[in-house]
Structure 1
Amino acid sequence: MLKASAIMAAGTMVSRVTGFVRTMVLAYAIGTALLGDAYNAAYAIPYSILDLLLLGVLSSVVVPMIVRAQQRDADGGRAYEQRLLTLATLTLAVIAVAAAFAAPLLIDLYTVWDRDSREFEVAVMLARFILPQLAFFGTGAVAGAILNTRDRFAAPMWAPVLNNLVVICAFLLFALVSTAGGDIAKVTDGDLVLLGLGTTAGIVAQASVLIVALKRAGFSFKPRLDLRNARLGEMAKAGVWTIGYTVVTQLGFVLTTNLASAAGSVVEGHGISPYTLAFQLFQLPYGVIGVSVITAMLPRMSRAVSDGRFDDVRSEFGSSVRLVCSLMVPVSLLLMVLGPAITVPIYGHGANSVADAVYIGNVLQVYGLALVPFALFQLLLRVFYSFGDTRTPVFVGAGTTAVNALLMWLFFTLLPARYAVMGLALAYAVAYALGALTAWWLAGRRVQGLGGWSIGMALTRMYLAALPTAVLALGAVWVVTGVFDGLGFVNSLIVLAVGGGLGLLLYLGVAHRMRIPEVNSIVGMVAGRVGR
Structure 2
Amino acid sequence: MSGGLYRSAHAASDGDPGPSDGAILISVDGSAPTAAGDEALPPEDVPPTGGGTEGGSTAGNSAIMAAGSLVSRIIGFVRNMLIGMTLGAGIGDAYTSAQFLPGQIYELLLGGILSSVLIPLLVRRRKADPDGGLLFTQRLLTFAVVTLGVATALVVTAAPVITAIQSGDGTTPAYRDLVTAFAWLILPIIFFTGLSAMISAVLNVRGHFAAPMWAPILNNLVVIATCGVFIVVFGTTKGLRPEDMTPGRIALIAGGTLLGMVAQALGLLPALRKVGFAWKWRWAPRSLGLGEVGRLAGWMLCYVGANQLAVFVVVRVLNSASGKNNASVLAFNNVYLLTMMAHGIIGVSVMTALLPKMSAAAAEGRYADVSADLSRGIRLTVTALAPIAVAYGVLGVPIAVTLFQGGAFTYEDAFATGTVLVVAAFAVIPLSVSYLCTYAFYSLQGNKTVALINVPVVLLRIAGYVVLAEVLSKSMAAAGMTAANAVSYLLSAIISLAVLRRRIGRLNLASVAGALLKVLLAAVVAGAAGLLVLHLLPGGDTPGRLTAALQVVVAGGTIMVVYLVTAALLRVREINQVVGMVRRKLGR
TM > 0.5 fold call: yes
Of 190, 193, 216 in structure 2, the residue corresponding to residue 137 of structure 1 is 193
- Residue 34 of structure 2: aligned partner: none
* CA distance in structure 2 between the partners assigned to 1:65 and 1:296 by the alignment: 24
- Residue 472 of structure 1: aligned partner: 529
* CA distance in structure 2 between the partners assigned to 1:155 and 1:506 by the alignment: 40
Could you tell me how far 1:42 is from its partner in structure 2? 0.4
Secondary structure of the 2:244 match is: coil
Cα distance, 1:12–1:281 mapped onto 2, change above 3 Å = same
Amino-acid identity (%): 34
8 Å CA contact 1:180, 1:186 repeated in 2: no
Listed one character per residue, the Cα deviations across residues 432-455 of structure 1 (whole Å, up to 9, x for unaligned) are 111111122223433445554444
Of 407, 411, 429 in structure 1, the residue corresponding to residue 468 of structure 2 is 411
- Residue 39 of structure 2: aligned partner: none
* CA distance in structure 1 between the partners assigned to 2:273 and 2:372 by the alignment: 34
* CA distance in structure 2 between the partners assigned to 1:465 and 1:60 by the alignment: 39
- Residue 279 of structure 1: aligned partner: 336
Could you tell me how far 1:356 is from its partner in structure 2? 1.0
**Aligned alpha-carbon RMSD (Å):** 3.5
- Residue 190 of structure 1: aligned partner: 248
Question: How do 1:433-444 residues align onto structure 2 when only pairs under 5 Å count?
Answer: 433-444=490-501
Question: How do 1:55-204 residues align onto structure 2 when only pairs under 5 Å count?
Answer: 56-69=112-125, 80-113=136-169, 117-148=173-204, 153-179=209-235, 181-182=237-238, 183=240, 184-204=242-262
Letter of the structure 2 residue corresponding to residue 344 of structure 1:
V
**Residue 380 (str. 1) matches residue 429 (str. 2):** no
Could you tell me how far 1:170 is from its partner in structure 2? 0.5
- Residue 50 of structure 2: aligned partner: none
Could you tell me how far 1:57 is from its partner in structure 2? 3.4
Cα distance, 1:77–1:476 mapped onto 2, change above 3 Å = farther
Of 428, 437, 441 in structure 1, the residue corresponding to residue 485 of structure 2 is 428
Could you tell me how far 1:281 is from its partner in structure 2? 2.1
* CA distance in structure 2 between the partners assigned to 1:63 and 1:321 by the alignment: 29
Of 291, 304, 318 in structure 2, the residue corresponding to residue 233 of structure 1 is 291
Listed one character per residue, the Cα deviations across residues 143-176 of structure 1 (whole Å, up to 9, x for unaligned) are 4345555665554443322221111111111111
Could you tell me how far 1:246 is from its partner in structure 2? 2.1
- Residue 494 of structure 1: aligned partner: 550
Question: How do 1:301-450 residues align onto structure 2 when only pairs under 5 Å count?
Answer: 310=367, 313-314=370-371, 317-318=374-375, 320-450=377-507
Could you tell me how far 1:358 is from its partner in structure 2? 0.8
> Which stretches in structure 2 are left out of the alignment for 5+ residues?
1-46, 48-57
Could you tell me how far 1:142 is from its partner in structure 2? 3.2
Could you tell me how far 1:228 is from its partner in structure 2? 4.1
8 Å CA contact 2:325, 2:416 repeated in 1: no
Secondary structure of the 2:467 match is: helix
**Residue 38 (str. 1) matches residue 94 (str. 2):** yes
Cα distance, 1:387–1:521 mapped onto 2, change above 3 Å = closer
Cα distance, 1:229–1:446 mapped onto 2, change above 3 Å = farther
Aligned length: 529
Could you tell me how far 1:25 is from its partner in structure 2? 1.1
Secondary structure of the 1:263 match is: coil
Could you tell me how far 1:493 is from its partner in structure 2? 0.9
Secondary structure of the 1:160 match is: helix
Letter of the structure 2 residue corresponding to residue 27 of structure 1:
G
Cα distance, 1:438–1:68 mapped onto 2, change above 3 Å = farther
8 Å CA contact 1:318, 1:450 repeated in 2: yes
Using the TM superposition, name which of 278-287 and 447-456 deviates more: 447-456
Cα distance, 1:312–1:65 mapped onto 2, change above 3 Å = farther
* CA distance in structure 2 between the partners assigned to 1:306 and 1:72 by the alignment: 22
* CA distance in structure 2 between the partners assigned to 1:382 and 1:138 by the alignment: 25
Secondary structure of the 1:185 match is: helix
Of 183, 207, 216 in structure 1, the residue corresponding to residue 265 of structure 2 is 207
8 Å CA contact 1:60, 1:385 repeated in 2: no
8 Å CA contact 1:26, 1:171 repeated in 2: yes
* CA distance in structure 2 between the partners assigned to 1:325 and 1:150 by the alignment: 36
* CA distance in structure 2 between the partners assigned to 1:43 and 1:495 by the alignment: 33
* CA distance in structure 2 between the partners assigned to 1:81 and 1:466 by the alignment: 51
Could you tell me how far 1:9 is from its partner in structure 2? 4.0
8 Å CA contact 1:238, 1:389 repeated in 2: no
TM-score between both structures, scaled by the size of structure 1: 0.87
8 Å CA contact 2:98, 2:183 repeated in 1: yes
8 Å CA contact 2:189, 2:258 repeated in 1: yes
* CA distance in structure 1 between the partners assigned to 2:205 and 2:573 by the alignment: 28
Could you tell me how far 1:193 is from its partner in structure 2? 0.7
* CA distance in structure 1 between the partners assigned to 2:441 and 2:201 by the alignment: 18
Listed one character per residue, the Cα deviations across residues 364-390 of structure 1 (whole Å, up to 9, x for unaligned) are 111111111112222322333445543
* CA distance in structure 2 between the partners assigned to 1:132 and 1:289 by the alignment: 34
- Residue 20 of structure 1: aligned partner: 77
* CA distance in structure 2 between the partners assigned to 1:215 and 1:386 by the alignment: 34
8 Å CA contact 1:83, 1:226 repeated in 2: yes
* CA distance in structure 1 between the partners assigned to 2:274 and 2:192 by the alignment: 19
* CA distance in structure 1 between the partners assigned to 2:569 and 2:78 by the alignment: 36
* CA distance in structure 1 between the partners assigned to 2:288 and 2:185 by the alignment: 32
* CA distance in structure 2 between the partners assigned to 1:87 and 1:313 by the alignment: 39
Could you tell me how far 1:192 is from its partner in structure 2? 0.5
Letter of the structure 1 residue corresponding to residue 403 of structure 2:
I
Could you tell me how far 1:239 is from its partner in structure 2? 0.8
Using the TM superposition, name which of 522-531 and 256-265 deviates more: 522-531
**Residue 11 (str. 1) matches residue 68 (str. 2):** yes
Cα distance, 1:79–1:307 mapped onto 2, change above 3 Å = farther
Letter of the structure 1 residue corresponding to residue 293 of structure 2:
M
Cα distance, 1:494–1:296 mapped onto 2, change above 3 Å = same
- Residue 47 of structure 1: aligned partner: 103
* CA distance in structure 2 between the partners assigned to 1:78 and 1:308 by the alignment: 35
Letter of the structure 2 residue corresponding to residue 189 of structure 1:
P
> Which stretches in structure 1 are left out of the alignment for 5+ residues?
none
Cα distance, 1:187–1:494 mapped onto 2, change above 3 Å = same
Listed one character per residue, the Cα deviations across residues 313-368 of structure 1 (whole Å, up to 9, x for unaligned) are 55654555445444322212211111111111222111121111011011111111
Q: Which has the higher helix share?
A: 1
Secondary structure of the 1:264 match is: coil
Using the TM superposition, name which of 360-369 and 243-252 deviates more: 243-252
